[in-house]
Structure 1
Amino acid sequence: MDISVVIPLLNEQDSLNELHDWIVKVMKTNHFSYEIIYIDDGSTDDSWHVITQLSANNKDVKGIRFFKNFGKSQALHAGFEIAQGDVIITMDADLQDNPEEIPGLYNMIVSDGFDLVSGWKKKRYDSILSKNLPSKLFNWAARQTSGVKLNDFNCGLKAYKNDLVKNIDVNGEMHRYIPVLAKNAGFIKITEKVVLHQARKYGETKFGMDRFIHGFLDLITIWFLSRFGKRPMHLFGALGAIMLIIGFGFSLYLGIDKIFLNPTGRLITERPQFYIALSTMIIGTQFFVAGFLGEIILRTKQDKKRYTIKEYLNLN
């Protein structure tokens, strides 16, 4: 199979038929063998009913329905698990991603040998204050932190090699950082392609300003995990050692001063250096304990399903 189109969605009943017809037209025009995988992330409208009808009329349509809203990352993970195409295309269901971009993305994977091609919505139709400016700041921070030089990390329109999506774990809200996850997994042939961005035709956006706050917090998380995820003691142990050295240094100074230089002076407990030494040694010990606990958890953790699936459609 040439292409798997993975589409996570939440309450997009109005756009699904139009999106489906558009994707099918592109696939037939370019003679692609394909499957379309819709992941209903807990919709409360008639989205699942529409997907059921689409799958009944088209054997190449598959559906996954979550019991409730678990988030876009979990929806993508579920879609990646069952995707069979040589190239995986992800896109949003709101018609802001243009299916006409699929052949170009596919060719960059198959012909040019890239592992991942990320869409870049260079010209956007979003609000400047609520999305464009925060998005530019967010993307700048992501580039500086991750070393992946993309202009638009959060674009839903991306293309991947099949073995890439099978070897990364998309969880939490890490869908924004799939290129970073790919790089950390050893897939380094990552590039971007300018794609058309269209104004939303139906409904309202599911994301507000809080997504950028969450995005920055996730960025810190993924930086930490990529640097110290397999060796937390390297970070916490180093911080603990620094704190303990500072604490022992002040303690040594207080001891020498009290015994040899000023034996009749103030009590050690009356001097501010005593409390600095005490505090830093306690903090240093806590850092060491955190490092040990991190190592223990890392070695004993068990994978836990992060979502529950209510129903499948057209899965063989």
Structure 2
Amino acid sequence: MNISVVIPLLNEQDSLTELHDWIAKVMQFNHFSYEIIFIDDGSIDDSWKIISQLSQKDSNVKGIRFLKNFGKSQALHAGFEKTQGDVVITMDADLQDNPDEIPELYNMIKNEGFDLVSGWKKVRYDSVISKNLPSKLFNWAARKTSGVKLNDFNCGLKAYHIDVVKNIDINGEMHRYIPVLSKNAGFTKIGEKVVQHQARKYGETKFGMNRFVHGFLDLITIWFLSRFGKRPMHLFGALGFIMFAVGFAFALYLGIDKLFLNPSGRLITQRPQFYLSLSTMIIGTQFFIAGFLGEIVLRNRQDKKRYLIKDELNLG
């Protein structure tokens, strides 16, 4: 199979039929063998009913329905597990991503050797204040932190080699950072393509300021995990050693001062340096313990299901 199209969605009943027909037209015109995997992330409208109808008239349509809303990252993870195509395309279900971009994205992965190609919505039709400016700030911070030189991390239209989606783990809300996760996993040939952005035709945007804040918190998380996720003792052990050494140095100074330099002076416990020394040594010890616990957790971690699937369509 040439292409798997993975589409996570939440309450997009009005756009699904039009999106399916558009994708099918592009695939048939280019003679691609394909599958379209819709992941219904707990919709409360008729989205699943429409997906069921599409799957009955088109065997290329497959569906996954979550028991409730688990989030876009979990939806992508579920879709990636089921993909069979050589190239995997992700896009949003709101018709703001243009399926006409698929052939060139496929060519960049299949024939030009990219591991991942991210869309860049250079011209956007979103609100400047509520979405465009926060997005620019977020993308700048993501570039500086991750070292991945992309202009639009948030673009839902991306293409992947099948090996990428089968070897990265997307959890929490890390879908924004799939290029960073891919780089950390060793898939370093990451490209970018300017894509056409469509104005939203139906429904309302799911973007809000809370997602903007969560995005930056996730950015800090992924920076930490990429540097210390497999070796937490390197961070916590270093911090613990520094703080313990500072505390011990204060304690040593107080002992020498009391014993040799000023034996008739104040008691050690009456000096503020004593409590500073004690506190830093205790905190340093706690950092050491945190590092050891992190190492133990890593060595005993068992993966658990992060979502519950209610129904599937046309999936073996």
Residue 129 (structure 2) aligns with: 129
1:14 counterpart = 2:11? no
Alignment of structure 1 residues 79-228 onto 2, 5 Å: 79-228=79-228
Question: Once the 2 structures are TM-superposed, how far is the Cα of residue 265 of structure 1 from its aligned partner?
Answer: 0.9
Q: Any idea what the Cα deviations from partners look like across 1:152-183, whole Å, max 9, x if unmatched?
A: 00100000000110000011100000000000
Report the Cα distance in structure 1 between the residues aligned to 2:47 and 2:180, rounded to whole angstroms.
31
Report the Cα distance in structure 2 between the residues aligned to 1:82 and 1:298, rounded to whole angstroms.
27
Paired residue type of 2:289:
V
Residue 252 (structure 2) aligns with: 252
Question: Once the 2 structures are TM-superposed, how far is the Cα of residue 106 of structure 1 from its aligned partner?
Answer: 0.5
Q: Percent identity?
A: 82
Question: Once the 2 structures are TM-superposed, how far is the Cα of residue 275 of structure 1 from its aligned partner?
Answer: 1.2
Q: Any idea what the Cα deviations from partners look like across 1:4-27, whole Å, max 9, x if unmatched?
A: 000000000000000000000110
Paired residue type of 1:284:
G
Residue 36 (structure 1) aligns with: 36
Report the Cα distance in structure 1 between the residues aligned to 2:63 and 2:248, rounded to whole angstroms.
62
Report the Cα distance in structure 2 between the residues aligned to 1:182 and 1:301, rounded to whole angstroms.
21
Q: Any idea what the Cα deviations from partners look like across 1:223-256, whole Å, max 9, x if unmatched?
A: 1111111111110000000000000000011011
Residue 278 (structure 1) aligns with: 278
Residue 59 (structure 1) aligns with: 59
Report the Cα distance in structure 1 between the residues aligned to 2:137 and 2:199, rounded to whole angstroms.
22
Report the Cα distance in structure 2 between the residues aligned to 1:58 and 1:123, rounded to whole angstroms.
34
Residue 295 (structure 1) aligns with: 295
Q: For the aligned residues, what is the CA RMSD? A: 0.6
5+ residue gaps, structure 1, are none
Question: Once the 2 structures are TM-superposed, how far is the Cα of residue 204 of structure 1 from its aligned partner?
Answer: 0.4
Question: Once the 2 structures are TM-superposed, how far is the Cα of residue 306 of structure 1 from its aligned partner?
Answer: 0.2
Residue 241 (structure 2) aligns with: 241
Question: Once the 2 structures are TM-superposed, how far is the Cα of residue 207 of structure 1 from its aligned partner?
Answer: 1.9
Paired residue type of 1:199:
A
Residue 72 (structure 1) aligns with: 72
Report the Cα distance in structure 1 between the residues aligned to 2:259 and 2:59, rounded to whole angstroms.
87
Report the Cα distance in structure 2 between the residues aligned to 1:34 and 1:300, rounded to whole angstroms.
39
Report the Cα distance in structure 2 between the residues aligned to 1:302 and 1:163, rounded to whole angstroms.
23
Question: Once the 2 structures are TM-superposed, how far is the Cα of residue 315 of structure 1 from its aligned partner?
Answer: 1.3
Q: Any idea what the Cα deviations from partners look like across 1:59-116, whole Å, max 9, x if unmatched?
A: 0000000000000000000000000000000000000000011011001101110000
Question: Once the 2 structures are TM-superposed, how far is the Cα of residue 294 of structure 1 from its aligned partner?
Answer: 0.5
Report the Cα distance in structure 1 between the residues aligned to 2:247 and 2:126, rounded to whole angstroms.
53
Paired residue type of 2:122:
K
Report the Cα distance in structure 1 between the residues aligned to 2:235 and 2:137, rounded to whole angstroms.
27
Paired residue type of 2:282:
I
Q: Any idea what the Cα deviations from partners look like across 1:234-286, whole Å, max 9, x if unmatched?
A: 10000000000000000011011111111111111111111110110011011
Paired residue type of 1:111:
N
Q: Any idea what the Cα deviations from partners look like across 1:10-50, whole Å, max 9, x if unmatched?
A: 00000000000000011011111100000000000000000
Report the Cα distance in structure 1 between the residues aligned to 2:206 and 2:133, rounded to whole angstroms.
18
Report the Cα distance in structure 1 between the residues aligned to 2:253 and 2:152, rounded to whole angstroms.
53
Question: Once the 2 structures are TM-superposed, how far is the Cα of residue 301 of structure 1 from its aligned partner?
Answer: 1.1
Q: Secondary structure at the match of 2:14?
A: helix
Report the Cα distance in structure 2 between the residues aligned to 1:171 and 1:38, rounded to whole angstroms.
19
Report the Cα distance in structure 2 between the residues aligned to 1:249 and 1:183, rounded to whole angstroms.
42
1:306 counterpart = 2:306? yes
Q: TM-score, normalised by structure 2?
A: 0.99
| Runs of 4+ with deviation above 6 angstroms | none
Paired residue type of 2:111:
S
Paired residue type of 1:55:
S
Report the Cα distance in structure 1 between the residues aligned to 2:181 and 2:23, rounded to whole angstroms.
28
5+ residue gaps, structure 2, are none
